[in-house]
Amino acid sequence: MEQSTGQKIITAVFGWGLSLLMAFPIIWMAMAAFKTEAQAIATPPIFFFSPTLENFTAVFERANYPHFFMNSVIVAGGATLLALIIGLPAAYAMAFYPTKKTKDVLVWMLSTKMMPAVGVLVPIYLLSKYAGLMDTRTGLVIMYTLMNLPIVVWMLFTFFKDVPKEILEAALLDGARPFQQFFMLLLPLTLPGIASTGLLAVIMAWNEAFWSINLSTSNATPLTAFIASFSSPEGLFWAKLSAASLLAIGPILAFGWMTQKQLVRGLTFGAVK
């Protein structure tokens, strides 16, 4: 049944209103980034002001932003690549060669995401210290990989389960080995799902703050820890903090905007038969 003009207008207004509500914190932060400190904390809030770049200048003068940016790119990209390398064959085996323990393993993997990160902080910290991985990109890549691996395996598993087994069985009858089935049939068929999984893993790794703050100090510090450095005993400098936050989330927002079609396509992969 087609919607009437009035229903379409109401739906559009509701959708735009909900979108603006969700985007309000980012809009507010972006506005504060171009205010002076006095304007940023003014009560009532100031909506009309002369934009200034002094906060961005202060951020670049205080720290080497490109260094933190490259750390985020390398750590998030490396962790995503490693999670996919491990997760793809694991999900393939669980989807097409299940055992009696497959469901238990999947549930156990997902249950690890329910544990508060602070509960394993001490052992992870000690292991990193004794392994010489403290304040290294390698250490953060390993930690982020372990953090995202359960979600990566679960998503890939659901995408692989949507592929009819008859396709792989037909390839098997034609003489294709499991290795050939995986690379020549399964990967092309599930590419949208794999792409969306990789995009989500990148976003989660980019936004991770807890482990970056506790496992890095200067050399491997990504942008999330860089933002936290603007919280000082003297108080919060809201304008400068907003400028630093905008510089940190800007790249991932642009990345998400450019890849939104692939992300939506992957998340709806297999929804319509």
Strands, DSSP E only, in 142-252? 231-232, 235-236
The answer to whether residue 131 is domain-embedded is: yes
The answer to whether residue 46 is domain-embedded is: no
Residue 184 structural domain: 53-270
Total domains in the fold of the chain: 1
Is this prediction's pTM over 0.85? no
The answer to whether residue 32 is domain-embedded is: no
Rounded to whole angstroms, the Cα distance separating 210 from 68 reads 16
The answer to whether residue 22 is domain-embedded is: no
Q: What residues contact residue 30 under an 8 Å CB cut-off, 6+ apart?
A: 242, 246
pLDDT single digits (tens) 24-82:
888 888 888 888 888 888 878 888 888 888 888 888 887 788 888 899 999 999 999 99
pLDDT single digits (tens) 165-212:
777 777 777 777 777 777 787 888 888 888 888 888 998 899 888 888
The answer to whether residue 77 is domain-embedded is: yes
Q: What is the pLDDT of residue 231?
A: 67
Cβ count within 10 A of residue 270: 16
The answer to whether residue 234 is domain-embedded is: yes
Q: The domain that contains 106 carries what CATH number?
A: 1.10.3720.10
The answer to whether residue 91 is domain-embedded is: yes
Please name which of 185, 246, 213 lies closest in space to residue 51, comparing C-alpha atoms: 246
Q: What is the mean pLDDT of residues 211-239?
A: 78
Q: What is the mean pLDDT of residues 205-229?
A: 85
Mean pLDDT of the chain: 83
Say how far residue 6 (Cα) sits from the centre of its chain: 38
